Amino acid sequence: MIRRILNKVFGRTSRASGSGAQILPLAAHGIRRDQLDDCALKTCETLAQAGYKGYVVGGAVRDLLLGKTPKDFDVATDATPEEVRRLFRRSRIIGRRFQIVHVMCGRVTIEVTTFRSNGQKEADEEDERSTDEHGRLLSDNVFGNMADDAARRDFTINALYYDPAREEVHDYFGGVADCKKRVLRMIGDPETRFREDPVRMLRAARFAAKLDFHIDPDTRRPVATLAPLLSNIPRARIFDEALKLLMSGHALRGVHQLRAEGLHHGMLPLLDTILDDPTGERFITAALKTTDARIAQDKPASPAFLFGTLLWPQVLQRWRALEAAGEKPQPALFLAMDEVLDAQRGQLAIPRRYDGMIKEIWALQPRFEQRGGQRPFRLLEHPRFRAAYDFLLLRAESGEVDAELGDWWTRFQDVDDEERAAMLKADSSPKPRRKRKRRKPGESAAETQPA
Ligand code: ATP
Ligand code: MG
């Protein structure tokens, strides 16, 4: 009886798996099954009905514990990917070496992963090398039991398994307590785990920023020495992490956290030059703040826009240098844009699919200076006007251009045609005016060229 009461409050230890997981009841964690996404709940139920285990795991449990709304739900199971696929009509196996199953309900997709171990044991037994010379794991696609699965995860707060049927949390490494203490702690020996996968260092910085957690000193210690290992990671994976950090809703804190840990050399090396220059720092701070605010309001934030802002201080610098060397403004800008985009390929590897939009936003910037004649009207109709205008506001906010220019464009969009006509400025464009027939967009504003 007493044991039952104690279990109810403090939870019990899993004996079934013999693994020492604490099994915490609702009273100890507070996560009710109705807080789960329906699709995640249904996925776990279907697995259970078929005799398999099915737990919500990872970020979703952590976020619910912290009172945040999870952005997606992952499920872990002892069923193989093929068995999972057979259970759900709308599902498909993703990946070859490392198979996961996507289960779809409406527009929601649940990622179902089979319990895995980090492959160390098997490799040791077969006397094969499971890591490279820096300790990086070469294989992580070996099935295992639930305890193995928990041990291969990165941080204690990411190794929590929620059983919706019993509303219990299986906690292998004290993740619930760490959540309460707001501590980010690596599972196992931090140095070994960072060597196994150096991206975990970037994840540490991202989670610390996103959750406003403190990195446990033992976890943090090896990072300064191991940060250079990021150079062995494929650039595409680094780019994905950068995107997650910048789109986390806490980009500003994330970027500062990266720099404080010395990790930006391996991810966003351009931060050094940007943040050491006061205008650059103001510009990036404004850009990241706006992105964070948009994400907080559930508004879309565009990666191309964001990467455009990160690279802008370099573009500006090259643009000015080329102009000083005698190049005309427009060609100088285009040259600077190409140079900067090419130079980042080796470091940041922004995929080429973003190039088009980034360049359009940059190329429109000088056009905001032209406030006479038909030009402002044409710019207003440009499909990228909105993004380019938002970009201009950041430049104004950082003091790179006059605040008056940003204000002018804000007002120009707001007022009616008559007032717009009154706002037009004498055309200060240095271009010699060619005598040609003016193309009328069919509006009366065409007549209202100021003196
Ligand atoms: P987010 O809110 O950013 O999605 P998350 O914790 O769900 O956070 P994911 O990248 O979606 O992060 O990964 C899901 C889970 O997989 C993590 O919670 C963690 O348990 C495990 N995991 C992911 N990447 C790693 C890694 N590099 N090393 C160890 N475990 C990892
Ligand atoms: Mg996730």
pLDDT in tens, 190-201: 999 999 999 999
Residue 200 CA: which ligand 1 atom is closest? 27
Phi-psi region of 77 (alpha: psi -120 to 50; beta: other; left: phi over 0): beta
Q: How far apart are CA 193 and CA 187, in angstroms?
A: 8
Specify the amino acid at residue 83. Answer: E
| Spacing, Cα 74 to ligand 2 middle (Å) | 7
Mean pLDDT, all residues of the chain: 88
How far away, in angstroms, is 226 Cα from ligand 2 center? 25
- pLDDT value of position 449: 38
Rounded CA separation 358/363 (Å): 9
Q: Where in the chain is the domain with CATH 1.10.3090.10?
A: 302-425
CA of 22 to the centre of ligand 2 (A): 23
Q: Output the residue whose Cα is nearest ligand 1's atom 8.
A: 59
Ligand nearest to the CA of 161: 1
Structure confidence at residue 340 (pLDDT) = 93
* All residues at 6 or more sequence positions from 377 whose CB lies less than 8 Å from its CB, including other chains: 420, 441, 443, 445
3-state secondary structure of 158: helix
Average pLDDT over residues 323-339: 95
- Tell me, in angstroms, the distance from the centre of ligand 2 to residue 70's CA: 8
Which band of pLDDT confidence, cut at 50, 70 and 90, is reported for residue 443?
very low
Q: How far is CA 313 from CA 40, 284, 335, 339, in A?
A: 44, 9, 15, 13
In single-letter form, the type of residue at position 365 comes to: Q
**Model pLDDT for residues 273-311, shown as the tens digit of each residue:** 888 888 888 999 999 999 999 999 999 899 999 999 999
Whose C-alpha lies nearest to ligand 1, atom 6?
A: 59
Q: Is the pTM of this model over 0.95?
A: no
Point out the ligand nearest to the CA of residue 210.
1
Return the residue whose CA atom lies nearest to atom 22 of ligand 1.
153
Q: How confident is the model at residue 17 (pLDDT cuts 50, 70, 90)?
A: very low
102, 148, 158, 195: residue to mutate for ligand 1 pocket, most atoms within 8 A of CB: 158
The per-residue DSSP string of 92-151 comes to EEE-SSS-EEEEEETTEEEEEEE-EE-SHHHHHHTT---B-TT--BS---EE--HHHHHH
pLDDT given for residue 447 in this prediction: 38
Question: What whole-number distance in Å separates Cα of residue 160 and Cα of residue 138?
Answer: 25
Count CB atoms within 10 A of the CB of residue 165. Answer: 12
Poorest-pLDDT segment among 13-22, 204-213, 304-313: 13-22
Kindly indicate the confidence band of residue 444, based on its pLDDT and cuts at 50, 70 and 90: very low
Under the banding of pLDDT at 50, 70 and 90, the label for residue 446 is very low
pLDDT band at residue 441 under the 50/70/90 scheme: low
Domain 302-425: CATH class, spelled out: mainly alpha
Q: Which atom of ligand 1 is nearest to the CA of 71?
A: 2
* pLDDT score recorded for residue 293: 96
Among the listed residues 58, 98, 104, the one whose alpha carbon sits nearest the alpha carbon of residue 85: 104
Find the angle CA(397)-CA(398)-CA(403) to the nearest 5 degrees. 45
**pLDDT reported for residue 193:** 97
Residue type, 95: G
Element (H, E) at 13: strand 12-13
Confidence label for 2 from pLDDT (cuts 50, 70 and 90) = low
Closest atom of ligand 1 to CA, residue 70: 2
Which residue from 160, 256, 136, 249 is spatially nearest to 205, judged by alpha carbons?
Answer: 256
pLDDT in tens, 68-83: 999 899 999 999 999 9
pLDDT score recorded for residue 90: 96
pLDDT at 413 over 60: yes
Contact, 247 vs 301, CB < 8 A? yes
Work out the number of other CB atoms within 10 angstroms of the CB of residue 388: 22
- Is 451 or 131 the better-scoring residue by pLDDT? 131
Residue 267's nearest CA partner among 223, 201, 318, 319 is 201
Looking from the CA of 74 toward its CB, the CA atoms found within 13 Å total 16
Q: pLDDT by residue (tens digit) across 235-264?
A: 889 999 999 999 999 999 999 999 999 998
Nearest to 199 by CA among 104, 125, 280, 263: 263
Residue 140: CB atoms within 10 Å:
16
Mutating to test ligand 1, I would choose from 136, 154, 196, 197 the residue with most ligand atoms within 8 A of its C-beta, which is 154
Measured between alpha carbons, how far is 273 from 41 in angstroms, rounded to an integer? 48
Residues annotated as catalytic are 72, 74, 154
pLDDT tens digits, one per residue of 379-400? 999 999 999 999 999 999 999 9
- Counting from 1 in the atom list of ligand 1, the atom nearest the Cα of 62 is 6
With 60 as the cut, is the pLDDT of residue 451 above it?
A: no
Which atom of ligand 1 is found nearest the CA of 153? 30
Distance 162 CA to ligand 1 centre (A): 15
Q: Which residues fall inside 5 Å of ion ligand 2, going by CB?
A: 59
Q: How far apart are CA 383 and CA 303, in angstroms?
A: 17
Determine the Cα–Cα distance for residues 75 and 241; give it in Å rounded to an integer: 22
Report which protein residue has its CA nearest ligand 1's atom 21: 153
Residue nearest to atom 17 of ligand 1 (CA): 58
Other CB atoms within 10 Å distance of the CB of residue 203: 17
pLDDT band at 375 (very low <50, low <70, confident <90, very high): very high
Which tens digit of pLDDT belongs to each residue from 43-63?
999 999 999 999 999 999 999
Where is average pLDDT lowest: 110-119, 222-231, 323-332, 434-443? Answer: 434-443
Considering the four listed CATH numbers 1.10.3720.10, 3.30.460.10, 3.40.830.10, 3.30.70.20, the one that applies to the domain covering 1-181 is: 3.30.460.10
Sequence-distant (6+) residues with CB within 8 A of 218 are 185, 186, 190
Percent of the chain at pLDDT above 90?
A: 75
Which residues are near ligand 1 (CB < 6 Å)?
58-59, 71, 74, 153-154, 158-159, 197, 199-200, 244
Mean pLDDT (whole number) for 26-53: 97
Q: Which of 249-253, 317-321, 428-432 has the lowest mean pLDDT?
A: 428-432
Q: Rounded distance, CA 397 to CA 420, Å?
A: 23
Residues 337-351, mean pLDDT to the nearest whole number = 87
Tell me the CA–centroid distance for residue 106 and ligand 1, in Å.
24
Residue nearest to atom 2 of ligand 1 (CA): 59
Which residue has tokens 């190049």? Answer: 327
The rounded distance, in Å, linking the Cα atoms of 386 and 370 is 17
Looking at residue 445, its pLDDT comes to 41
Q: Which two tokens stand for residue 387?
A: 């993004």
* Average of per-residue pLDDT across 131-139: 81
C-alpha 51 – ligand 1 centre gap (Å): 26
Of the chain, the percentage scoring pLDDT greater than 70 comes to 87
Q: Which element (helix H / strand E) includes 249? A: none
- Inter-axis angle of helices 385-397 and 278-296, nearest 10: 130
Q: Find the ligand nearest to 57 CA.
A: 1
Residue with tokens 């599972």: 187
Query: Which of 71, 113, 152, 153 is the pocket-test mutation for ligand 1 (most atoms within 8 Å of CB)?
Result: 153
Q: Which of 56, 74, 233 has most ligand 1 atoms within 8 Å of its beta carbon, as the pocket-test mutant?
A: 74
> In this structure, which residue's CA is closest to atom 10 in ligand 1?
59
140 has pLDDT over 80: no
Q: How far is the CA of 62 from the centre of ligand 2 (A)?
A: 10
Render pLDDT for 161-182 as a digit per residue (tens, 0 to 9).
999 999 999 999 999 999 999 9
- 11 pLDDT band (50/70/90 cuts)? low
Ranges for all domains in the chain classified under CATH 3.30.460.10: 1-181
